[in-house]
Amino acid sequence: MEWPACTDEYEKLLIRMSTPRVVIDNAVCSTATLVKVDSARRHGILLDAVQVLTDLNLSIKKAYISSDGRWFMDVFHVTDQNGNKLTDESVLKYIEQSLGSIHNGRANCSNGLTALELTGTDRVGLLSEVFAVLADLQCDVVEAKVWTHNGRIASLIYVKDCNSGSTIEDSQRINKIEVRLRNVLKGDNDIRSAKTSVSLSVMHTERRLHQMMFTDRDYQRTPILKFTSDKAVVTVQNWAERGYSVVNVQCKDRSKLLFDVVCNLTDMEYVVFHATINTTSDRAYLEFYIRHKDGTPISSEPERQRVIQCLKASVERRACEGVRLELCTEDRQGLLAEVMRTFRENGLNVTRAEISTIKNMATNVFYVTDAIGNAADPKIIESVRQKIGSSNLEVKELPLIYHQKAETEDQAFGVGGAVLWCIGSLVRRNLYNLGLIKSCS
């Protein structure tokens, strides 16, 4: 490590102590790559570590998390989306470098685009109207993510000027965009809760979407559309002897699940002191030992119920409802407005969308259902594909994120035993409660 000339020995010691130590091991486990992180504890550092892994679309099969005083220790068992260990040296190096710098935090920055934040009541055809307005206002959509949950919608859309390709900074134009979009969001019956805002700074998109929906209190609302996915089971109990609140989450496993749960715990200002995460087949089991930032456990029944509601919402927001459609075609002005209008005219509701532009190609993912949340008719899907272009719009299966190789009990016990030495007796108790080892002694 190169040190500035003015850095004294004490400063060097502090930097060494606060810099996370990262070890990546492909030898211990036959089915996953182990990523071990030791670092000084601060609020949000677990979220930063998980974010590094999930932003690479890695699947976290198991994790063991523990803190001892002011020190934090994480062990993640990760694979790619096909269930394979990580072997690409460039990826391994990127993980090591990124995790080694998380003690610096992650500041907001500008990416040369104008960010539009929208929240309001979801309805069939809403996105068609939103993108039609943006096309009319000469806004080119470069990236966007849209989530819907319990009848609410949150969207973060990054745009630039169609003609100049630059950031939109003119205050009058920004005000016009906000007013037009707010009118679309209001519709006929959402006068108060529809919100729009414009920003030139960019934070982590998915974390911001969680914050927007949390602020909108989507977790308190009654679902409008009919979804049939397995519901998450969340329990919260206090462990009085140790002063922890114990949170258990059981649900269907999926990509970025751990990020979503930890993100919401962090934004609700809870600190995770210990945790175990395990996945078997298509199920995920997560257990967290948490306290408030002030060191106290959950202290009332209303607070307990609020945590349960919020964590259920964190799992459900990104649940893959509907048919996954992937659009890959040359980008052009008004493309999204045309695609969304075709969806609307055929009675398809977009429950989630991920929109990106790479060079001159639009690469978009849509999850669609019928108007009331049921599976869309395959004939309608095929009709939509013909109208948009069957070679451009394809029906895709979800990425393979679940276990393809069953881990034997001996392997699970061996990995657990290797980890227990560094994360202490509390996590050993957690492993026993989850059935990962035969004894907690």
pLDDT per residue as tens digits for the range 237-275: 999 899 999 999 999 999 999 999 999 999 999 999 999
Question: Can you point out the beta strands (E) in 51-206?
Answer: 59-68, 71-79, 114-121, 139-149, 152-161, 195-199
Return the H-helix or E-strand segment holding 380: helix 378-388
Please list, in sequence order, all residues whose beta carbon lies within 8 angstroms of the beta carbon of residue 9, skipping any fewer than 6 positions away: none
Range in 227-236, 254-263, 401-410 the model is least confident about: 401-410
List beta partners, residue 76.
35, 63
pLDDT per residue as tens digits for the range 315-343: 999 887 789 999 999 998 889 999 999 99
- In terms of pLDDT, which residue wins out, 355 or 100? 355
- In terms of pLDDT, which residue wins out, 138 or 108? 138
CA distance 144 to 158: 6
Is the confidence at residue 200, as pLDDT, over 90? no
The H-assigned helical ranges of 40-139 are 45-55, 89-100, 126-136
**By percentage, how much of the chain surpasses pLDDT 70?**
81
- CA torsion 390-394-395-399 (nearest 10°) is 170
The gap from C-alpha 71 to its chain's centroid, in whole angstroms, comes to 26
Q: Cβ(96)–Cβ(37) under 8 Å?
A: no
CA distance 239 to 316: 27
Is the confidence at residue 417, as pLDDT, over 50? no
pLDDT per residue as tens digits for the range 347-383: 999 999 999 998 889 999 999 999 888 889 999 999 9
Two tokens, residue 408: 């034997």
Q: Cβ(177)–Cβ(199) under 8 Å?
A: no
| Segment 297-313 mean pLDDT | 96
* pLDDT value, residue 14: 57
* pLDDT value, residue 71: 84
How many other CB atoms are found less than 10 A from the CB of residue 352?
A: 21
The string of DSSP letters for 27-53 reads SS-SSSEEEEEEEE--TTHHHHHHHHH
φ, ψ (nearest 5 deg) of residue 117: -110, 125
Please list, in sequence order, all residues whose beta carbon lies within 8 angstroms of the beta carbon of residue 366, skipping any fewer than 6 positions away: 324, 325, 326, 327, 343, 350, 352, 353
Single out the residue of 191, 131, 197 nearest to residue 350, CA to CA: 131
Two tokens, residue 29: 């486990």
Return the H-helix or E-strand segment holding 209: helix 205-215
Please list, in sequence order, all residues whose beta carbon lies within 8 angstroms of the beta carbon of residue 110, skipping any fewer than 6 positions away: 167, 200, 201, 202
Q: Largest Cα–Cα distance of the chain, in whole Å?
A: 71
Please list, in sequence order, all residues whose beta carbon lies within 8 angstroms of the beta carbon of residue 12, skipping any fewer than 6 positions away: 3
* pLDDT value, residue 106: 55
CA distance 285 to 248: 7
* pLDDT value, residue 4: 56
The helix/strand/coil state of 275 is strand
Two tokens, residue 117: 């934040």
Two tokens, residue 62: 């198991």
* pLDDT value, residue 339: 95
Q: Place 424 in a pLDDT band, splitting at 50, 70 and 90.
A: very low
